[in-house]
Structure 1
């Protein structure tokens, strides 16, 4: 069964263009690492400096743990930390944004 996880991150002021450029050129090794960790889809929307992610993944916590020390992901996270207002937590203990309603 696949989980759908929503995440929220925030860009540092003035980082939108560099963030967009980075995501226009995702390393193929990172895509492979995400897929190997169970991610089937990851979409990101931006409103100003606010970023909203929707992740389709087999098991979110397992994915986070698997990527925590992956060398390709570590390099990517270092690049993203220069652009994001808050560092990402790869403890695997978060559950993303709480869903409060869904159309029945």
Structure 2
């Protein structure tokens, strides 16, 4: 199982709203995440900076499958007003996929 970290940010002043929305993630999105092979997914917050950790066999394949999933599209639209977005209207994300140390 591969491990990935990616960085995002929510809009300044929207931190509490981000937290509140994640207290009730849509059940159909949770199911979609599992269906594409994501076994672990955590998001940490420091101010408006978001650090997401994910375990999945193939991150890129999983994201491709989620891209057109109705539950994911609904969630992305729901979150688009509080996340920093890129010029294409997608959440700004920076993927870190080089793990250099692990203690098991």
Instruction: Name the TM tier (shorter chain).
Output: 0.7 to 0.9
- C-alpha separation in 1, matches of 2:16 and 2:10: 10
What is the RMSD computed on CA atoms of the aligned residues? 2.0
Partner residue in 2 for 1:16: 15
Partner residue in 1 for 2:31: 32
When the two structures are superposed, what TM-score results if normalisation uses the length of structure 1? Answer: 0.85
**Aligned runs of 1:14-93 on 2, under 5 Å?**
14-86=13-85, 87-88=90-91
Summarize the Cα distance change of 1:5–1:27 in structure 2 as closer, same or farther, 3 Å threshold.
Answer: same
Aligned residue pair count: 99
When the two structures are superposed, what TM-score results if normalisation uses the length of structure 2? Answer: 0.85
Give 1:95 deviation, angstroms: 8.0
Work out whether residues 5 and 95 of structure 1, in 8 Å CA contact, stay in contact via their aligned partners in 2.
no
Give 1:101 deviation, angstroms: 3.4
- C-alpha separation in 2, matches of 1:27 and 1:14: 23
What 5-or-longer segments of structure 1 have no aligned partner? none
- C-alpha separation in 1, matches of 2:102 and 2:34: 29
